[in-house]
Chain A
Amino acid sequence: MWSRGNRGISLILLVVLCVGLIGSWAAGQVYERTETLYVSGAAWGPPNDWNPFITWSKANTTGTIGFLYETLFMYDPLSDEFIPFLAESGEWVNDRTYEVKLREGMTWTDGEAIMADDVVFTFQLGQKYAALWFSPMLLGDKKYLDSIVQVGDYYVQFNFTNPLYQEWDNNLYNIPIVPKHLWEGRTEEDITAGTNENPVGSGAYMYDTHSSDRNVWIRNDNWWGNEVFGQPAPKRIVDIRFSSNSVALGSVIKGDVDLSNNFLPGIATLSDKGYVKTYYEGAPYMQAANTAVLFLNTTIAPMDDAAFRKALAFSINVDDIVNVAYANLVAAASPTGLLPALSKYDDQDAIETLGWTYDPAEAARILADNGYVDIDGDGYVEAPDGSAIALEVTCPIGWTDWMESIAVISDSAKAVGINLEDVTPDYGSWNSALTNKTFEMTLNNWANLSNTPWTLYNLLFNHPIKDIMGSGNFGAYDNQELFDLVDALAAVPTTDLAGMQAICSQIQTIMLTEVPMIPLWYNGLWAQYSDSVWTNWPTDGSNDPARLPTTWSGYWQLGGLLTLIELELAE
């Protein structure tokens, strides 16, 4: 009798649950395939907020800046040009005043006009709230932007005390403008930590819906950019978070997903066979997005010795990382770490005379010359003072490409007699070790494609040295001369190419002599796409100007949005 009771109960519960789940859902629909673009690869977690000022979670709602909120300019890293966006133009009227003219006739998605006071309001938030990422330029003892003044309806003047031109240019395409009429009543907590649900923006797409594994964006048919850049063809964009690479790969091969920006090992073979499209037809298949750098903790012996660091740099077989760990999906990096797009700032003479390539014999020679010899005959060198050397190189567990790369690094180092093991802690403890200087060697790549070499040097030589190195220079390499050069670079006008090159050359000379960290390879802008529904994807040489096929947060302003606009429906 109990078994019958159980069946009844479970059936009733099932029905109640079904009805409950369905009942709470509003009327929805099935998306038309020819109106919808399916993308994946940006989000690493469920959507958490649409607040453009919480920068670190924007990957989960990619498009919050770019679709929804927009910046004054876009920057095209491939042509090294700024594209006026919300701004119609911007210029330095003298060396301390920058003036922006907004486009006329733009509106927020609630119909209100976008005016100069919105821009002034947005920048002034940084003056009020120290917890906003861009506030150091407006607040505190390092501030260099004095006042923001509205001139008429469409002009804004920025008055600087001591402008850091490089950073300012970077901010021009990274600070999202928010509507004053909706944000001025908000509390500090709302602005720094609010979810900003049902957001009102200005951009090409609007928030439609979301669930834990997707974001759906719907086209804004009244977008001001329709006349300037053209209207994007997809009516809806569904941004999917796949739980595993294999599901992502299957979906893009079947054509269920149009653009995948996940890192998928083995894509080279699939691209060669024509199952997916990639930017280049042959190696490295992908454009370069950032530089993977081996950080060395210079507060721990023997990484405090430049000779040891240099020997390590000569010992690493980067070709094995490129060919084996990545199966040709990446390219080896310049010893300066600058991306190919910024190669005009590379000092070729310095690289020629001071740089390094894979050369185990040279590595062994440097070690021997500096007193690193194998005393106890275990096959590994000891430090000049006779103490044993046993080091670890780390990356978070599950980051398969990096795990294979640190295995190559470990093998390379062992081949020249350095006892180096590869270890993979979980992400949380890896991150803590990274920022608390408790790691020995680890990989990091947190400087994205940018308009200026300062972005990379700000990561590599972040200063001053503090207990917690949260935003760069994780190995705490301390060199005041170098820090002064990085600061000087930040203050060079971005139009002064020779001035920038001169300082970069000095920085690179120190970097190549001292080897505070070792740039290894360029991580790719992972992108594989299907032609089955949407075409005109960027490929090498096919489109002019070239574009970035990516959905990663922070890249919509780097031309990602223009890629979307140029898509066409397949016949």
Chain B
Amino acid sequence: MRRYFGRKLLIYLITFFLAVTIDWLIPRFMPGNPVQNMLARAAVRPEAAEVMYGYYTEAFGLDVPVWQQYLNFWNALFHGDLGTSVYLFPQPVSKVLRESIPYDIFLLLPAILLSWWAGNKFGAFAARTKRLDNTLLPIGYILTATPYMWLGILLAWAFGVVLDVFPIAGAYSFTMEPHLSWLFVGDVLKHWFLPFASLFLVGFGGWAIGMRNMIIYELEADYSHYMEALGAPRKLVRKYAFRNAILPQITGLALQLGVIVAGALVTEVVFSYPGIGYLLLAAIQNQDYFLIQGCFLFIITGVLLANFLIDIVYVIVDPRTRRGMVGE
């Protein structure tokens, strides 16, 4: 068991190091200069422009050789310092992220968990139920093949514009200041619903299809036929099939996390939901090295952490992995 987790942990650490290094490197390959971009609109006399350029290049630590910048970056990271945003100068990146990440979690966690739970339940229920199966299959395929952004735009148009029942932008109304009241909580949930729904629906379709196929596969397995021959009730057979079918779905969740996070980022742009999606887009457009790094750091850490959790869950739910470890 210790060896298993030790090895996993090592792999995660190496992945983290490589991912963060790439994340540091890529923005610096982009053509252009962030400080020049930042100062371009200051529209001052050339004497002032030159002094300001030197001053702020130094302030961002971009005046030293690239290898030195890289070492400084790791050093600062271990001290919890993510640097200062260029796009949102002079806000520190950590503060910018602190203000947006709650919105991401508020959107992502329920969307991922609920779509996984509901998709699996519904897929298992629908498998081998003729009428449901005939409707579920096409709908599920359409949903899971829909790009997040496109579904978001459709929902915004249908429920925001045509029916006018949900707002299409922001995290809460422009007429309100955050406060604790049912009115405000309702307002927040109303703004949250459409972006949540677009993430939920796409995920739901995928999980339901996957589970339906797995259940059919398991029901054809020898153990199912054997149990049926023994006269086990249908419900019990399906219960065992479900337990076996859920394992690949857990692995699937780990594999899909990156895609879901990417989907959340574009969904946030569609609904101008104040998570890091919109920030990341603006950061890339403005060549904000530090904000890009910070956003990706959050994504990398989140995805790796979730993968690690799923590894642990897998050991708990699948007795065979445990037995395999002991046997080693």
Instruction: Give the Cβ gap from B292 to chain A, nearest Cβ, in Å.
Output: 11
Residue of B nearest to A49 (CB): B90
B286 and A428 contacting across the interface, CB-CB below 8 Å:
yes
Instruction: Give the Cβ gap from B271 to chain A, nearest Cβ, in Å.
Output: 8
A432 and B32 contacting across the interface, CB-CB below 8 Å:
yes
CB within 8 Å for A432 and B42 given contacts A27-B179, A213-B274 = no
Instruction: Give the Cβ gap from B264 to chain A, nearest Cβ, in Å.
Output: 15
B110 and A13 contacting across the interface, CB-CB below 8 Å:
yes
Instruction: Give the Cβ gap from A462 to chain B, nearest Cβ, in Å.
Output: 6
Contact partner of A247 (CB less than 8 A), chosen from B42, B53, B168, B183, is B168
Cβ of A78 < 8 Å from any Cβ of B? no
Contact partner of B102 (CB less than 8 A), chosen from A21, A26, A247, is A21
Residues of A within 8 A of B177 (CB): 28-31, 209, 216
Q: A413-434, CB under 8 A of B: which get 1 and which 0? A: 0000000000000111101101
Most central of A18, A242, A462, A471 by chain B CB within 10 Å: A471
A195 to B113, CA, bound (A): 39
Cβ of A193 < 8 Å from any Cβ of B? yes
A463 and B32 contacting across the interface, CB-CB below 8 Å:
no
Q: A237-267, CB under 8 A of B: which get 1 and which 0? A: 0101011100100100000100000000000
A464 and B46 contacting across the interface, CB-CB below 8 Å:
yes
A428 and B89 contacting across the interface, CB-CB below 8 Å:
no
A212 to B274, CA, bound (A): 7
Cβ of A348 < 8 Å from any Cβ of B? no
Cβ of A468 < 8 Å from any Cβ of B? yes
B113 and A427 contacting across the interface, CB-CB below 8 Å:
no
Cβ of B150 < 8 Å from any Cβ of A? no
Q: A505-546, CB under 8 A of B: which get 1 and which 0? A: 000000000000000000000000000000000000000000
Instruction: Give the Cβ gap from A489 to chain B, nearest Cβ, in Å.
Output: 14
Interface secondary structure of B, over-half rule: helix
B180 and A470 contacting across the interface, CB-CB below 8 Å:
no
Cβ of A77 < 8 Å from any Cβ of B? no
Instruction: Give the Cβ gap from A527 to chain B, nearest Cβ, in Å.
Output: 19
Residues of A within 8 A of B180 (CB): 22-23, 25, 27
| Count of CB-CB pairs between chains A and B under 8 Å | 207
Cβ of A172 < 8 Å from any Cβ of B? no
Binds B, one of A52-60, A80-88, A177-185, A370-378: A52-60
Residues of B within 8 A of A211 (CB): 171, 178, 274
Residue of B nearest to A46 (CB): B88
Cβ of B223 < 8 Å from any Cβ of A? no
Contact partner of B286 (CB less than 8 A), chosen from A20, A30, A256, A427, is A427
Cβ of A186 < 8 Å from any Cβ of B? no
Cβ of A340 < 8 Å from any Cβ of B? no
Residues of B within 8 A of A31 (CB): 175-177
Residues B35-62 near A (CB distance < 8 A): 36-53, 55-56, 59
Binds B, one of A4-12, A301-309, A353-361: A4-12
A470 and B49 contacting across the interface, CB-CB below 8 Å:
yes
Residues of A within 8 A of B174 (CB): 38, 214, 238, 240, 256
Cβ of A387 < 8 Å from any Cβ of B? no
Size bin of chain A's contact surface: 35 or more
B contacts with A, residue count (CB < 8 A): 74
Residues A190-221 near B (CB distance < 8 A): 192-195, 209, 211-214, 216
A286 to B31, CA, bound (A): 36
A7 to B110, CA, bound (A): 10
A256 to B175, CA, bound (A): 9
Contact partner of A213 (CB less than 8 A), chosen from B59, B161, B170, is B170
Contact partner of B285 (CB less than 8 A), chosen from A14, A30, A428, A446, is A428
Residues B234-288 near A (CB distance < 8 A): 246, 269, 272, 274, 278-279, 282, 285-287
Binds B, one of A92-100, A128-136, A330-338, A562-570: A128-136
B36 and A193 contacting across the interface, CB-CB below 8 Å:
no
CB within 8 Å for A212 and B287 given contacts A3-B121, A462-B46 = no
B48 and A135 contacting across the interface, CB-CB below 8 Å:
yes
Cβ of B114 < 8 Å from any Cβ of A? yes
B102 and A20 contacting across the interface, CB-CB below 8 Å:
yes
Contact partner of B45 (CB less than 8 A), chosen from A20, A136, A192, A447, is A136
Residue of B nearest to A239 (CB): B174
With A48-B90, A431-B40, A470-B49 known, 4 other A-B pairs at CB within 8 A are: A27-B179, A46-B96, A48-B91, A244-B169
User: Which residues does A use to contact B, with CB under 8 Å?
Assistant: 2-3, 6-7, 9-10, 13-14, 17-18, 20-23, 25-31, 33, 36, 38, 45-46, 48-49, 51, 54-57, 130-136, 140, 142, 192-195, 209, 211-214, 216, 238, 240, 242-244, 247, 250, 256, 426-429, 431-432, 434-436, 446-447, 458-459, 462-464, 466, 468-472
Shortest 9 CB-CB distances between A and B: which pairs? A28-B177, A243-B272, A432-B32, A28-B179, A25-B178, A10-B113, A428-B287, A131-B55, A48-B88
